[in-house]
Structure 1
Amino acid sequence: MDALTLLLQRRSCPALQAPAPEGEHLDLILRAALRVPDFQRLRPYEFIIAEGDGLVRLGVLLEAAAVASGKPPEIVERAPRMPLRAPMVIVVVSRPRPSELVSPFEQRLTAGCAVMAMQMAAQALGYGGIWRSGWPMFDRGLHDALGLGAEDQVVGFLYLGTPARQPGPPPDAEVGRHVRRL
């Protein structure tokens, strides 16, 4: 699949099953993340990979964070199962580096681009993925449990695996509705 087709046909795939990317495929996916726009090459991100028992450990951390932050019972009950929706979850963290030239906001954008690059690389290799966010992305208790610093920020949970079913075609995009010229 050529790059333009890949970009224009991108779809999130929520129905994922084993196998997840591993070995050379996982290495290629991570390398794609390292190629995103990154002024000054600060590499302001970290990738925390959960698979196998790591998915269960991530679920335990999510449940504890839900309890500690007073989430409703249905969210607390669902929290430990959230990572089990895919055979691999990559927690993508923005870790701003000291810089007089590159603001923390710009560095967060770089980390966000890394999520997209990994999802696109996974799709190019025949895997499916979905970039999830929600309350855990902003929960400081979860951040602490993951060993993140005060300036660090989860920018997404990239769920990866083999599509259990292919998502439908992408809806037509009306470019004109989102563009204006000066």
Structure 2
Amino acid sequence: MPEANKPVLEFLQTRRSRPAKLLRAPAPDREALMPILTAAGRTPDHGKLEPWRFIVLEKPALTRLANAIDARGTSNGLAPEDVAKARSQFDDSPLCVAVIEVQKPSEKIPAIEQTYSAGAVCLALLNASLASGWGANWLSGWPSHDTQFCADHLGLSNAERVAGFIHIGTASAVPPERPRPDITAITTWIDA
């Protein structure tokens, strides 16, 4: 029987994101963030392509993005509540790491596997932040899917897209537990 790492398993079974709207300063500084980014970088990566990268958005950049979201949403004719919701994740956040999917040409590794790896990096970054004692939340929203916005304000190329915005800070409150999946209802066992 293998030896279980019980504290890690317990953490994973009880982990809970902290809503971005409840995150406040302080946030991890650059020195505190590096081990978190390092842990996230250990995500499965078939072919060692590194089909992702990080953009760390500190408070001045978050303010700039919030203003740009407001202008872009208004010019695109989006509903004011949709613009306000997208803007708030950057207004309220003390620190955000944008995980950028970077599709790499490969004969062996399909694009979808690279997308899965980028998503796994988001979860690893979220969990590493929580395990380090910070509050964290993985968000996206319409700005992450607006290619012109991402090119203009995050410097993304045509081969890149936002896999997620991971907001990190100090949780000002702990939300109540939410319903979780019934594992027995979604699990099929095949023995032959």
Aligned equivalents of 1:41, 1:64: Cα separation in 2: 39
* 1:7 corresponds to which of 8, 12, 17: 12
**How many aligned positions are there?**
182
The structure having more radius of gyration, on CA atoms, is 2
The residue aligned with 2:109 is 102
Gaps of 5+ in 2: 1-5
Q: How far 1:23 sits from its partner (Å)?
A: 3.5
TM-score, with structure 2 as normaliser: 0.86
Pairwise CA distance, 1:69: 2.9
Offset at 1:67?
Answer: 2.8
SS at the partner of 2:184?
A: helix
CA contact (8 A) 2:140 2:163 kept: yes
Q: Percent identity?
A: 35
- Tell me by how many angstroms 1:130 deviates: 0.7
Matched residue type, 2:35: L
The equivalent of 2:172 in structure 1 is 164
Cα drift, residue 73 of structure 1: 2.7
Q: Is the 8 A contact 1:6 1:120 kept in 2?
A: no
The answer to whether the Cα contact below 8 Å between 2:86 and 2:143 also exists between their aligned partners in 1 is: no
Contact map agreement 1:47 1:93 (CA 8 A) in 2: yes
**Equivalent residue in structure 2 for 1:31, among 38, 53, 62:** 38
Deviations 1:112-146 (A, max 9, x none): 11111111111111101111122222111222212
Contact 1:48 1:90 in 2 (8 A): yes
Task: Report the TM-score when normalising by structure 1.
Answer: 0.90
Which residue identity is paired with 2:189? R
Gaps of 5+ in 1: none
For 1:38 and 1:87, locate their aligned partners in 2 and report how far apart those are by CA, in whole Å.
29
1:79 shift after superposition: 4.1
Q: Give the C-alpha shift of residue 78 in structure 1.
A: 4.7
1:181 equivalent in alignment to 2:184:
no
The answer (yes or no) to whether the contact 2:17–2:130 under 8 Å persists in 1 is no
Deviation at 1:17, TM superposition (A): 0.9
Shift of the 109–49 alpha-carbon distance from structure 1 to 2, 3 Å rule, reads: same
The residue number in structure 1 matching 2:49 is: 42
Assess, with a 3 A threshold, how the Cα gap between structure 1 residues 166 and 76 changes in structure 2: closer, same or farther.
closer
Cα distance in 2 for residues equivalent to 1:76 and 1:98: 35
Moved over 4 A (4+): none
What corresponds to 1:130 in structure 2? 137
Instruction: Identify the residue that residue 19 of structure 1 maps to in structure 2.
Output: 26
Contact 2:23 / 2:168 at 8 angstroms: preserved in 1? yes
Tell me the distance in 1 between the aligned counterparts of 2:10 and 2:36: 18
Cα distance, 1:59–1:117 mapped onto 2, change above 3 Å: same
